[in-house]
């Protein structure tokens, strides 16, 4: 009992504990500040890189940049957390060298049972490196034997990919399960519409009328926002003539995901403009 009382009355004990808590608080604050500064630097480097590429005429993939940027920030954050944790343990007298050595032995032992995790990480690395898909892309994913998921990419990590389906379900797909990717969000969608027009005048007159109407639509801002870059609606060709009906194909490169919207607009406006002439629009 006396030993316990003497132990509790030991001023050096309280001073020692207080010093360690103060050191811990300082480590936590420094780690927080380091993370904030590191992330600010990463943001600055990313913005500077994008601006430099823009001046050189090099287009940047915003979604891919965001994915890689997020991954680097996460890696930096967790690395600083790990270092801070080791420092805090050292402050309280824990043999961190022994822990790290033990962790090395354990990792070797666990490695044989964690081959799928390693495969996930390696596959995830190559998905990001090759730009197979990025956050925000709409994709369809298959493995060697069956369909896995289809939807919008919510998150892309080294371990797994998070996908939101059209039905609202969220899929967490291990990267090693991804063998085939169909990406609907790269480049553009080609829109092709066939207009079947009753021949009530010469083919040249019909073609001229169509071209003039397409010029009007091309200058319409409601249409422009759905065009891929500076593309325009154009009369591609006369497909054929059947009795008194001529078939013309109209094409345009549409912004990704906007093909159906643009198609409906075009069909409606063609019908309204050529109600008396257009027999059908396919």
Please report the DSSP string for 142-160 in residue order.
Answer: E-SSSEEEEEEEEEE-SSE
CATH fold label, 131-183: SH3 type barrels. (2.30.30)
> Which residues belong to CATH 1.10.287.1260 in the chain?
2-111
Cα dist from 63 to 129, 162, 173, 221, whole Å: 13, 15, 19, 25
Q: What's the confidence (pLDDT) of residue 121?
A: 75
Contact partners, residue 237, CB within 8 Å, separation at least 6:
248, 249
> Which residues belong to CATH 3.30.70 in the chain?
189-281
Q: What's the confidence (pLDDT) of residue 229?
A: 80
The domain over range 189-281 is classified in CATH as 1.10.287: no
Is pLDDT above 60 for 190?
yes
Q: Among 9-13, 144-148, 217-221, 223-227, name the one with the lowest average pLDDT.
A: 9-13
CA–CA separation, 180 and 149 (whole Å): 11
In this predicted model, which residue has the larger pLDDT, 111 or 117?
A: 117
Q: Looking at the domain covering 2-111, what would its CATH class be?
A: mainly alpha
Question: Could you tell me which residues are beta bridge partners of residue 142?
Answer: 147, 180
Question: Residue 107: left if φ>0, alpha if ψ -120 to 50, beta else—which one?
Answer: alpha
Q: What's the confidence (pLDDT) of residue 34?
A: 93
Q: What's the confidence (pLDDT) of residue 237?
A: 80
Name the phi and psi angles at 130, rounded to 5: -85, -10
Using CB atoms within 10 Å of the CB of residue 18, give its burial: 0 to 12 exposed, 13 to 18 middle, 19+ buried: exposed
**250 three-class SS:** strand
CA contacts within 13 A on the Cβ side of 38:
18
Q: What's the confidence (pLDDT) of residue 95?
A: 75
Q: What's the confidence (pLDDT) of residue 183?
A: 85
- CB-CB contact of 121 with 159 (8 Å): yes
> Which residues belong to CATH 2.30.30.60 in the chain?
131-183
CA–CA separation, 190 and 227 (whole Å): 10
């Amino acid at each position: 009992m006396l030993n316990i009382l003497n132990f509790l009355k030991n001023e050096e004990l309280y001073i020692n504990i207080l010093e360690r808590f103060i050191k811990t608080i300082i480590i936590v604050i420094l780690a927080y500040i380091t993370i904030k500064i590191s992330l600010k630097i990463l943001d600055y480097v990313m913005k500077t890189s994008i601006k430099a590429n823009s001046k050189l005429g090099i287009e940047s993939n915003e979604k891919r940049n965001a994915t890689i940027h997020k991954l680097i920030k996460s890696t930096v954050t967790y690395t600083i957390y790990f270092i801070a944790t080791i420092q805090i343990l050292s402050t309280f007298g824990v043999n961190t060298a022994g822990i790290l050595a033990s962790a090395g032995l354990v990792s070797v032992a666990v490695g044989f049972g964690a081959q799928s995790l390693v495969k996930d990480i390696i596959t995830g690395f190559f998905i990001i490196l090759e730009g197979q898909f990025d956050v925000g892309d709409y994709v369809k994913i298959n493995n060697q034997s069956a369909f896995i998921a289809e939807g919008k990419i919510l998150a892309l990590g080294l371990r797994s990919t998070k996908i939101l389906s059209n039905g609202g379900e969220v899929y967490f797909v291990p990267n090693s399960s991804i063998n085939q990717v169909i990406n609907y969000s790269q480049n553009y969608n080609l829109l092709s519409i066939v207009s079947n027009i009753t021949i009530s005048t010469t083919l040249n007159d019909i073609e001229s009328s169509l071209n003039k109407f397409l010029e009007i639509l091309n200058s319409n801002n409601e249409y422009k926002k759905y065009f891929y870059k500076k593309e325009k609606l154009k009369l591609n060709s006369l497909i054929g003539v059947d009795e008194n009906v001529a078939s013309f194909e109209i094409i345009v490169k549409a912004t990704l995901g906007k093909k159906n919207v643009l198609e409906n607009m075009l069909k409606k406006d063609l019908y309204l403009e050529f109600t008396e002439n257009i027999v059908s629009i396919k």
